[in-house]
Amino acid sequence: MTQTTRNIIIFIAAFVIMGGLLATINLETTDQTDLATLANRVQSNEVTSLTIRGDEVEAVFTDGSTNKVTKEPGDSLSTVFSNYGVDPEKLRSIPTEVKEPSGFSYWASLIIPNLLPILLLGVLFWFIFRQVQGQNNKAMQFGQSAGHEIQKDAKDKVTFKDVAGVKEAKEELLEVVDFLKHPDKFTKFGAKIPKGALLMGSPGTGKTLLARAVAGEADVPFFHISGSEFVEMFVGVGASRVRDLFVRAKKSAPCIVFIDEIDAVGRQRGSGMGGSHDEREQTLNQILVEMDGFEPNAGVIVIAATNRPDVLDPALLRPGRFDRRIVLDPPDINDREAILKIHAKKKPLSKNASIRKLAERTPGFSGADLANLMNEAAILAVRRNKTSVTEEELLESIEKVMLGPERKSHVLDEDEKKITAYHEVGHALVAHLLPHSDPIQKVSIISRGRAAGYTIKTPTTDRKMRRRAEYVEELSMMLGGYAAEQIIFGDVTTGASSDMKETTGLARNMVTQWGMSTLMGPRVYGEREDMIFLGRDIHENRDYSEKVAEKIDDEIDKLISEALQRAKDIITDNRDAMDRVSLKLLEVETLEREAFMEVVAIPPANPNNVLKKEKKEVTE
Ligand code: ADP
Ligand code: MG
Ligand code: ZN
């Protein structure tokens, strides 16, 4: 039951109870028979005196007995009695005393009917107020307890040992550790210790981890807040939170203040839109004020992290603020091996499992992906009741991390299966027969994530740059599935839709961003800019004319149609291989590299992709 429904129920209950109370009060009305009797006795001269107290009438009779009767409120006694046919003369002859009404019930009967609605309203307001305040309170507490603190002797302390790869970043940060540990060493030489360092790197490269490791190495407290936390706050709360954080930090200096995802608040000012923009600016301003406010040697070092250094406000990067800028590169093969080893530590790996092989097969994986991969493999091993994590689980987890979990329940019917098989083999065969392509690692028609089937190529080296020729072939390879469907079945399915999206995106980038179209020349068309409050949408600032837009479209068309033609040619020319591999794939559902090469039985166009006889390591 949610809070709201509970409140509503309490309300209704309160209403019913109060309503009931009200009803009983009103029910306490005149006793008509007694009033009639009294009237009769007045008429027959049996009453010696009357006392009126509000609506209560007390009569003393000739025989000495008394009786209390309540009359209708409002009406006077004479009216009531005359209604009962009492002679007014008779009534007048009876000595009557009128007393101030008193007693709780009288007052209650007077006040409660008037007070109750007000009371109810009060309760209602109290409930509403409490609810609103509850939410408010959270924000208030946010403002007060600025950030999270990790004590220097925390149990799960992280040091540089826990961070693999990112060698240059570690070296630079070693200097920061030194500043924190031996500030006097530097101040003796009149050197100003930098106040801030900015960690830049794509998501999952270990920025947060590294910042914590600096605190761990220097053995100082670590205060951290995340820029994204500010976004949800009320105006003014973010700034006050920053203020409080720095107050606390200065008290525990030397220490590290870590502002994660600073791009959430530190975007260029004046480029946003919408109301909450103010909040962001205030928060950012407060960060700047605080950074300027403390002495360079106060022992507080601010580390910030971002994966979007390009959108940061230049004010953040001015000297005296984040003037150390540290780039975290994505891991290369050796880094990947080292990261995998760190995360394999507490997991029982079987002897056959080669971490190196895993590192080879995971180009493009970030540190976070690799950590995730190790974890998935361990979970898989547990589920299979194995005594250790074997290579089987490790390799399977690569695909799980890359494409999402296998969807066994997503059963394709025979037709769909056939189309999927030809589609995937289309990709694989085209790649296999293009001179710059990477070797095919795996072809499968087992659904994963959103894909019905998948083809994995693994680059043999870690490349930082790509050539136009490679991208042109990439387009053909991406259209291989579409081409196969068209040639084999004379029709296309929705299975090719994401391929088309990627192809179009790549072709557009080639033309407009990378200068890979001779006609359009070495120029960037359209400045891309994030519209912050429209989610992740990228808004393109069109800085070219309608005529140029047409030319761009033509160039994209040309790239795509040429790529498609090339893919179709390859498939038509190798129809035998197409059928052979597809049929095999339908039968076994997944072809690993070796099996694929065997069934294709055509040497790859790229000589680097020839299957080398793997040395089987024999250990005795
Ligand atoms: P970022 O902040 O750059 O997005 P994180 O520091 O949050 O990345 O990394 C997420 C997780 O990935 C870490 O907790 C760690 O387990 C793992 N990881 C990332 N990079 C590394 C690395 N270089 N060495 C070891 N583990 C890493
Ligand atoms: Mg992070
Ligand atoms: Zn496809």
Q: Is the dihedral of CA 435, 441, 445, 451 positive or negative?
A: negative
What pLDDT, on the 0 to 100 scale, is given for residue 241?
83
DSSP symbol at 267:
B
414 is catalytic: no
Query: Beta-strand (E) ranges in 255-309?
Result: 255-260, 300-306
In the chain, the amino acid numbered 90 is K
Q: Does domain 333-403 have CATH number 1.10.8.60?
A: yes
What pLDDT, on the 0 to 100 scale, is given for residue 532?
41
- The predicted-structure confidence for 558-613, as pLDDT tens digits, reads as follows 999 999 999 999 999 999 999 999 999 999 989 999 999 999 999 999 888 887 76
Ligand nearest to the CA of 445: 3
Dihedral pair phi/psi, residue 484, rounded to 5° = -65, -45
Give the C-alpha separation, 306 to 61, whole Å.
98
Query: For atom 10 of ligand 1, which residue has the closest CA?
Result: 368
- DSSP character string of 114-180: HHHHHHHHHHHHHHHHHHHHHHHHHHHHHHHS-SEEE-TT-TT---GGG--S-HHHHHHHHHHHHHH
What pLDDT, on the 0 to 100 scale, is given for residue 457?
83
What tokens appear for 206 in the block? 């270990």
- DSSP character string of 424-478: HHHHHHHHHTSTTPPPEEEEE-S-BTTBSSEEEE--SS--S---HHHHHHHHHHH
Q: Which residues are placed with Cβ below 5 angstroms of ligand 2, an ion?
A: 208
Please tell me the pTM assigned to this model. 0.67
Q: How many angstroms is it from 307 CA to the middle of ligand 2?
A: 9
Give the C-alpha separation, 246 to 293, whole Å.
10
**Which atom of ligand 1 is nearest to 162's Cα?**
25
Give the C-alpha separation, 587 to 302, whole Å.
59
End-to-end CA, the chain? 64
Q: Does domain 148-328 have CATH number 3.20.20.70?
A: no
What pLDDT, on the 0 to 100 scale, is given for residue 142?
43
- The predicted-structure confidence for 212-223, as pLDDT tens digits, reads as follows 999 999 889 899
CB 440 within 8 A of CB 455: yes
- The predicted-structure confidence for 325-336, as pLDDT tens digits, reads as follows 898 988 988 999
| Residues recorded for the chain | 620
Chain-centroid distance, C-alpha 597: 43
Would strands 324-327 and 440-444 be described as parallel, antiparallel, or unpaired? unpaired
Q: Does domain 414-619 have CATH number 1.10.275.10?
A: no
Domain boundaries, the chain: 3-104, 148-328, 333-403, 414-619
Q: How many angstroms is it from 564 CA to the middle of ligand 3?
A: 13
What pLDDT, on the 0 to 100 scale, is given for residue 269?
61
- DSSP character string of 394-407: HHHHHHHHHH--B-
Q: Coil, strand, or helix at residue 48? A: strand
Question: What Å distances lie between residue 75 and 56, 59, 113, CA to CA?
Answer: 12, 18, 19
Ligand nearest to the CA of 451: 3
Q: Which of 424, 473, 485, 555 is catalytic?
A: 424
What pLDDT, on the 0 to 100 scale, is given for residue 617?
46
Residues of the chain with pLDDT under 50: 27-30, 136-145, 272-276, 530-537, 615-620
**Ligand 1, residues at Cβ distance < 6 Å:** 163-166, 201, 203-209, 305, 339, 342, 367-368, 371
Whether 333-403 shares its CATH topology with 414-619 is answered: no
Write out the CATH class of domain 3-104: alpha beta
Contacting residues for 499 by C-beta, under 8 A, at least 6 apart: 478, 479, 481, 482
Give the C-alpha separation, 374 to 484, whole Å.
36
C-alpha closest to that of 105 among 33, 32, 29, 50: 29
Would strands 440-444 and 590-592 be described as parallel, antiparallel, or unpaired? antiparallel
DSSP symbol at 30:
-
